[in-house]
Amino acid sequence: MHYWVRASSSDFSGTLPQPRSGHTAVPIGKSKVVVFGGLLDKKFISDIAVYDIENKIWFQPECTGNGSDGQVGPSPRAFHVAVAIDCHMFIFGGRFGSRRLGDFWVLDTDIWQWSELTSFGDLPSPRDFSAASAIGNQKIVMYGGWDGKKWLSDVYVLDTISLEWMELSVTGSLPPPRCGHTATMVEKRLLVYGGRGGGGPIMSDLWALKGLIEEENETPGWTQLKLPGQAPSPRCGHTVTSGGHYLLLFGGHGTGGWLSRYDIYYNDCIVLDRLSAQWKRLPIGNEPPAARAYHSLSHIGSRYLLFGGFDGKLTYGDIWWLVPEEDPIAKWFIEPPPKNLPHKGMAVANDNIQSAFKESQREDDAITELQRRLGVSVSLSGPGLQIIDESDDKEFIELGSKLIGEKVSNNEQGLVSQTIEVLRGHWRNSTPSSIPLKELGPLLRDYQRLVTRHHLANNGSDFQHIESWLSGKEAHKFYHLNNVSQLRMDDIPKLLAEYKKLLPE
Decide which of 253, 282, 301 is a domain's last residue: 301
Decide which of 301, 331, 355 is a domain's last residue: 301
Is 309 inside any structural domain? no
Is 363 inside any structural domain? no
Same-domain pairing of 37 and 171 = yes
DSSP-assigned letter for residue 308: -
344 has a pLDDT exceeding 50: no
At 385 the pLDDT is: 58
Can you tell me whether residue 400 is helix, strand or coil?
helix
Residue 436's pLDDT band (boundaries 50, 70, 90)? Answer: confident
Is 333 inside any structural domain? no
Q: Which residues pair with 138 in a beta bridge?
A: none
At 458 the pLDDT is: 55
At 141 the pLDDT is: 97
Decide which of 267, 282, 301 is a domain's last residue: 301
In this predicted model, which residue has the larger pLDDT, 306 or 9?
Answer: 306
Same-domain pairing of 187 and 70 = yes
pTM of the model: 0.67
In this predicted model, which residue has the larger pLDDT, 134 or 369?
Answer: 134
Is 224 inside any structural domain? yes
Q: What is the DSSP string of 94-140?
A: EEETTEEEEEEEEEETTTTEEEE---EESPPPP-BS-EEEEETTTEE
Can you tell me whether residue 254 is helix, strand or coil?
strand
Is 324 inside any structural domain? no
Express each pLDDT in 139-183 by its tens digit: 999 999 999 999 999 999 999 999 999 999 998 899 999 999 999
Largest CA distance in the chain: 89
Same-domain pairing of 280 and 416 = no
Enclosing domain of residue 434: 378-502
At 355 the pLDDT is: 35
Of 14-18, 206-210, 483-487, which gets the smallest average pLDDT? 483-487
Express each pLDDT in 59-109 by its tens digit: 999 999 987 788 889 999 999 999 999 999 999 999 999 999 999 999 999
Is 319 inside any structural domain? no
Same-domain pairing of 42 and 183 = yes
In whole angstroms, give the CA distance from residue 7 to residue 110: 27
Q: Which residues pair with 195 in a beta bridge?
A: 203
Same-domain pairing of 126 and 20 = yes
Same-domain pairing of 242 and 384 = no
Express each pLDDT in 255-282 by its tens digit: 865 555 578 999 999 999 988 899 999 9
Of 135-139, 200-204, 250-254, 371-375, which gets the smallest average pLDDT? 371-375
At 456 the pLDDT is: 60
Same-domain pairing of 400 and 282 = no
Other Cβ atoms less than 10 A from the Cβ of 325: the count is 14
Q: What is the mean pLDDT of residues 241-245?
A: 86
351 φ, ψ (degrees, to nearest 5):
-65, -40
Other Cβ atoms less than 10 A from the Cβ of 5: the count is 20
In whole angstroms, give the CA distance from residue 486 to residue 464: 23
Same-domain pairing of 144 and 290 = yes
For residue 368, which amino acid is it?
Answer: T
Is 470 inside any structural domain? yes
Q: Which residues, 6 or more positions from 502, have their beta carbon under 8 angstroms from its beta carbon? A: 447, 450, 451, 454
- Host H or E run for residue 190: strand 189-197
Same-domain pairing of 178 and 48 = yes
Q: Which residues, 6 or more positions from 57, have their beta carbon under 8 angstroms from its beta carbon? A: 12, 13, 14, 51
9 has a pLDDT exceeding 80: no
CATH number at residue 189: 2.120.10.80
Q: Which residues, 6 or more positions from 328, have their beta carbon under 8 angstroms from its beta carbon? A: none
Is 89 inside any structural domain? yes
The count of structural domains within the chain is 2
Cα 136 to Cα 60, 104, 160, 191, 364: the distances in Å are 28, 20, 11, 15, 55
